[in-house]
Amino acid sequence: MDRQRPQAPRIFLLLTIAVIFILYLPIAVMFLNSLLDHGVWTFRWYQAVFVDTYLHESLINTLIVAASSSAISLLLGVGASIAIGKGLFSLRKSLEAFTFLALGLPELVMALSLLTLFYLLRISSSLLTVTLAHITFTVSFVILTVHSRTITLEKYIDEAAMDLGASEWQILRTIILPLLKPACISALLLGLLLSFDDFLITFYTIGVGTDTLPIKLYSEMRFGLTPKLSALSTLMFICTVLLSITMLRTGVIKNIVKK
């Protein structure tokens, strides 16, 4: 006699539907708001987004900062994760504690401390200071992500490779880094998202006359929420969905989860 799978209580199904509804209701409302102009259906607000050169400039600045800070954080974070994971420092536990402590710092504290540091060093606020500031908090997330993978690597792999005549550089390039690739991709994407969305630290470290997208949106929202901002948010949501679908179809996410 075949056994039937126990079915989950209907309450769990209802809760799941409720959660999905709560998550996507604001997005649906935002999408409808971007298509309305005094009750009339229109694409006017999307056209306004595409012709706004100041908005384009702030988006480019955001992408430059996000790409630069996440790439540098990845290089620093991977190196630190390998060093911590292999126990190359006698103060390994202390380094881990200080690294992960940064994750719990209030963003306001970090923003004010960075502002004070740049002021004392006579460094003028610009995209450079924003990039440096973003590195300070994204690198901790990179280390956390990659370190969780390095501690699972078997120590005998290095010893076996050395017995076969491989140098430390060859071990790093042909063994360690390929094994860390999924974690590195995850860390890079996380760094990009954190940097792209950051407002508070950017607000305290950016120069006058230079905007990133979050700063630009904040300055426009002070005069009221317009359908133009809804159109921009909808476009960003569509880009995110398309990127996620592409990663799923190409197997990037599948490989990350599998490994």
The region of weakest confidence among 119-133, 195-209, 241-255 is: 241-255
Residue with the two structure tokens 């890079």 = 188
Entry pTM? 0.83
Q: Is 121 helix (H, G, I), strand (E, B) or coil?
A: coil
Both structure tokens of 100: 């992960």
Domain ranges of the chain: 10-41, 53-224
Amino acid 1: pLDDT: 47
Closest CA to 198 of 96, 101, 61: 61
What band does 254 get if pLDDT is binned at 50, 70 and 90? low
Tell me which CATH homologous superfamily contains domain 53-224: MetI-like (1.10.3720.10)
Q: pLDDT tens across 61-112, in order? A: 999 999 999 999 999 999 888 887 766 555 667 777 777 777 888 899 999 9
